[in-house]
Structure 1
Amino acid sequence: MDLANDDTHMTQDQACATRVDSLDPARISALAAALGVPDDRARPFWHQIYFWDARPATSLGLDGHPKIGALIPDMGLPRRMWAGGRLHFHAPPTPGQAAQKSTTLLRADRKHGRTGALGLVTLQHEISQDGKLLVSEQQDLIYRAADARSGTPPEAATDETASKTHRFTTTELFRYSALTFNGHRIHYDRDYALNVEGYDGLVVHGPLLAQYLMLMAEDLLGSLSKFDFRATAPLMDHQSVTFCAKPSEDGLMLWARADDGRQCMSATATS
């Protein structure tokens, strides 16, 4: 198994981590099978299945994620959510060759919002191979208190010009967790999701929703150079979702609409 080499370092004024991975082509094939796409080429967001943060069980928190306190400071807020991101795709990877991921902590702020205390974290990722930049990404994370209240989700638009409805199975959630080495228990441990974090089902991964929107955008535009997304409400495994798109001035507007009309994610894409 080609586990990533971990070379993590911190300086006084910024936190930085670097990982190296051999980009095993079998993982791209496995992702294609999990997503039901017809070929094994690297799709947008391919880097999610590489550069694993594989730690021993003693280094994990109650939620199954690696404990915070090194790259991301501990703000006393245990519930973690992937809130969104901004991606630029510069060049495709060459599978089977080593690539490097460098991560820098851009911000970590503790604030008080309408639903209680929030920790707002932004990470900057840069993926390169043979000295060439492949992907640059800013990833937004939100940390909340254990008893945080849920906000009111926005209603999704219904004026799409293209759409596709999907229902995630527990098998698909498991396979995506395995491919991304994501141990967050809200995606596979129903008792934990319901009784500890207060969800009403297993939670569909935010990046998995974004992946499906990227696939739709790629099908409509032919290629992607930029993709921005924001998670606005969680989607449960017992709900179906409709991925929607319509043309915009620069490319596409996209969103994910749950079967009760909630908007779970919004996005923009540029070719």
Structure 2
Amino acid sequence: MQSDQSPAQRQSDVMDPARANAFRVALGEGAGIGAGDALPPFFHQLYFWSPEPPANLGRDGHPQVGGLIPDMGLPRRMWAAGRLAFHAPLKVGAPAERVTVCENHQRKEGRSGPLGFVTLRHEMHQEGRLCVTEWQDLVYREDPSPHAPKPKAPVARTDESHCEAVSFSSTLLFRYSALTFNGHRIHYDLDYARDVEGYGGLVVHGPLLAQLLLLMAERHLGPLRTFEFRATAPLMHYETAQLCLQDRELWVRGPDGRQCMTARA
């Protein structure tokens, strides 16, 4: 495992209530977040955009690697997992700063070929105090071989105490990509998702699934101090999934019973 020696990336943004309310509306909820309110947990992903000109983008629509994230020669990017520690609420309408470092990166051989692992740590500060720490685990891999068997997804649990059905549309995925300034084409470009990266449809964002699980956990458990999640199989935009909760364990179950994500609050 290697540590990245590049300097920390610092970004400033104002927690604009319009952006948070637009996300709530996209999720089918009413607006109503105003200046001075606590920003809902994980909504910070709507802020701290890093726009790049077209010449600085990779084929997948993400900024090219080689800066904060080292280039390991692997073209496919996936958000594999994340961890969140909530120290204090971010306040809507106030400026905040995010400091990002690459904690480590590693390339190794897996059963399906070479894999690159990257961990980013984000620290969000507001009014002189640390409010949120987030770890983002990314995986990079080669293009899929047309003759390689599809990996078998794990089977999801069925012992939940609470369950909510959730469906997606290409419109929701587009709006979420726009609100988070995520240019990854697997979420809105069907031809690219299917023909280049080998998916059966548009891929539902991992952080969007995590956001829905987190909001579900907060409804049943109250304010959270920590939340962690791991993607285990992709979910397509045309599939209806189930958000499941048992005690402090959560998961996303696909329509065929496969486990798409696990989480703990």
Same fold (TM over 0.5): yes
Is structure 2 residue 79 aligned with structure 1 residue 82? yes
Q: How does 1:195-206 map to 2 (within 5 A)?
A: 195-206=195-206
Distance 1:59 1:208 in 2: 25
Where 1:121 maps in the other structure, the secondary structure is strand
Distance 1:14 1:227 in 2: 28
TM-score, scaled to structure 1: 0.91
Q: Answer with 45-54 or 144-153: which moved more.
A: 144-153
1:257 aligned to which of 253, 256, 261: 253
Structure 2: unaligned runs, 5 residues or longer:
none
1:47 aligned to which of 25, 44, 47: 44
8 Å CA contact 2:4, 2:104 repeated in 1: no
Where 1:210 maps in the other structure, the secondary structure is helix
CA shift digits 1:35-61 (9 cap, x unpaired): 123443622111100000111111101
Where 2:39 maps in the other structure, the secondary structure is coil
- Residue 235 of structure 2 corresponds to 235
Q: Percent identity?
A: 55
Where 2:5 maps in the other structure, the secondary structure is coil
1:151 CA drift (Å): 2.4
Distance 1:13 1:186 in 2: 30
- Residue 7 of structure 1 corresponds to none
Distance 2:88 2:97 in 1: 14
Count of residue pairs the alignment pairs up: 255
1:142 aligned to which of 126, 139, 160: 139
Amino acid at match of 1:108: H
1:137 CA drift (Å): 0.9
Is structure 2 residue 25 aligned with structure 1 residue 33? yes
8 Å CA contact 1:15, 1:105 repeated in 2: no
Distance 1:211 1:100 in 2: 21
TM-score, scaled to structure 2: 0.93
2:61 aligned to which of 59, 64, 85: 64
Q: Answer with 235-244 or 12-21: which moved more.
A: 12-21
Amino acid at match of 1:267: A
- Residue 187 of structure 2 corresponds to 187
Query: Which structure shows the higher strand fraction?
Result: 1
